[in-house]
Amino acid sequence: MRWLRNWRRRRIVARHPLEERLWRRARARLPFLAGLSAGDERRLKEMAMVFLAEKQFTPVRGTVLGDGDRVSIALQACLPVLELGLDWYDGWVGIVVHPSDFKVSRSETDEHGVVHEWNDTLAGEAWPGGPVVLSWDALDEAGSVALGGANVVLHEFAHKLDMMDGEVDGVPPLPTPQARRAWIAVLERELARFRREVDAGRETFLDPYAAEHEAEFFAVASEAFFESPNALQADFPQLYDLFRSFYRQDPAPRLRT
């Protein structure tokens, strides 16, 4: 089965190379794709084409997605798993794209059995075993403010990696129990420090939204790891080291100017 899968993937890569004009367009809009070695760049392009063949895009409420848009989403989604492999995105196929930030209804039952209901407006969402939902407006923003800005694709796909073990807790699957303990120790320490800065009203490099939950801290810091790795390394050196060993990439040198 695995062999068949690899064979299918090899066939996709052979038959559908990424068009050079689409790659150049994505590169121009997404400066963090710069600095990859020739081999890494080729692998990223191949992965993006397999990703496009295996995932299903559903534009809703009038969104129109061109080839360039799909390629741009695929390249951003594949960068974090360049060394981990596309299997990390197994178990789901859908990518839903809304024209702008979308409203969702939430409800939660508290410890007294009281149901709380409210509406959230979101730029993106990732469901365990389900689709990734993205807002087109937020995608466009990712292209224009890539230097330090928010990146909804990197964010939601980081949630997908986090969810691989069934829990949305800022702890992706790790090879050993020791690695898991070390991860939690660093994440909690850095998050506690970040929360103190946010509470003190200090200007923070990471979006204060990251203080909400371990899972959001992981997702927001992962955006920074790929988009503004030198700033992340300067402010959160231990977190940077943790992510470098998890993602098996070192983006800081490749984006140093």
Interacting residues with Zn ion (CB under 5 A): 216, 219
What is the nearest approach in angstroms of Zn ion to the Cβ of residue 21?
33
The smaller minimum CB distance to Zn ion, of residues 23 and 217, is found at 217
Q: Output the DSSP codes for 120-189.
A: EEESEEE-TTS-EEEEHHHHHHHHHTTTTS--HHHHHHHHHHHHTTS--SS----SSHHHHHHHHHHHHH
The smaller minimum CB distance to Zn ion, of residues 207 and 250, is found at 207
What is the nearest approach in angstroms of Zn ion to the Cβ of residue 115?
23
What is the nearest approach in angstroms of Zn ion to the Cβ of residue 148?
18
What is the nearest approach in angstroms of Zn ion to the Cβ of residue 9?
29
The smaller minimum CB distance to Zn ion, of residues 47 and 150, is found at 150
Running DSSP on this structure, what letter comes out for residue 248? T
Contacts of 180 (CB under 8 A, 6+ apart): 171, 174
The smaller minimum CB distance to Zn ion, of residues 23 and 89, is found at 89
What is the nearest approach in angstroms of Zn ion to the Cβ of residue 48?
23
Running DSSP on this structure, what letter comes out for residue 17? P
- State in Å, rounded, how far the first CA of the chain is from the last one: 45
Token output for 97: 């794209």
Token output for 53: 């063949």
Q: Which residues, in sequence order, are bridge partners of residue 98?
A: 135
The smaller minimum CB distance to Zn ion, of residues 26 and 153, is found at 153
